[in-house]
Amino acid sequence: MSCSLNLRAISYKNEDKDIFNDISLNLGHEEKIAIIGSNGSGKSTLLKIIAGLINPSSGYIEVFHEKMNNLKDFSKYRSDIGYLPQDVTNHFLCPTVIEDVIFSLRAKGISKEEALIQGEEILKELKITHLKDRVIFDLSGGEQKIVALAGLLILKPKILLLDEPTNALDEESEKRIVEILNSIKKSMIIVSHHRSFIESLTSTVYRLDCGSLEIAINR
């Protein structure tokens, strides 16, 4: 299996405290894996390292077999790696749904007309066309998560990194997120504490606890 991501002996310290040590992991092409663990175990920190947002204390990451020596090296893969933070309220840059979803395309120099065409296509694909002109902060938490996901998917990333994508969502919103993620053929790393959500998406689950990463479920 061709690998999208490789973690090589990743360690991270915070104020001289070891958060995790020597973590190695391979993420295959269109493979979906989940990471669970207790609060404070470093799951979100690990995801930010994989996304190229913070540096590890030691070790390195390979993206499509290319070694990332520093955060700057990730810049060429920004469109290939979609990162969804746990709290998306600070994720949005524009007032309305369609404006925010197409923002990244406009920032890349794509015309407004073409960006709107692509934006409407992704809204249709995720079945949220009815939200097109809504003000984002008037939406429910579940709707905001799906809009944030649309903003990632419009760039056609090859890898998705999702931090607690169903946190604080109602049952209906969680079900919709599951449907969307199951329909997407991309490599994914999902951090979540919702066991039923994880099991509906992936058969490979890792546990991060006491500074180490080990396979918890491999069906």
Residues 76 and 92 grouped into a single domain:
no
Residues 166 and 76 grouped into a single domain:
yes
Q: How far apart are the first and last CA of the chain?
A: 17
| Residue 9 token pair | 């002996």
> Along the 219 residues of the chain, how does pLDDT read in single tens digits?
577 899 999 999 988 899 999 999 999 999 999 999 998 899 999 999 999 999 999 999 999 999 999 999 999 999 999 999 999 989 999 999 999 999 999 999 999 999 999 999 999 999 999 999 999 999 999 999 999 999 999 999 999 999 999 887 888 888 889 999 999 999 999 999 888 889 899 989 999 999 999 998 877
Q: What pLDDT sits at residue 189? A: 97
Residues 14 and 74 grouped into a single domain:
yes
CATH, residue 30: 3.40.50.300
Residues 4 and 39 grouped into a single domain:
yes
Residues 122 and 169 grouped into a single domain:
no
Give me the domain span that covers residue 95: 88-156
Residues 71 and 177 grouped into a single domain:
yes
Contact 80, 161 (CB under 8 A): no
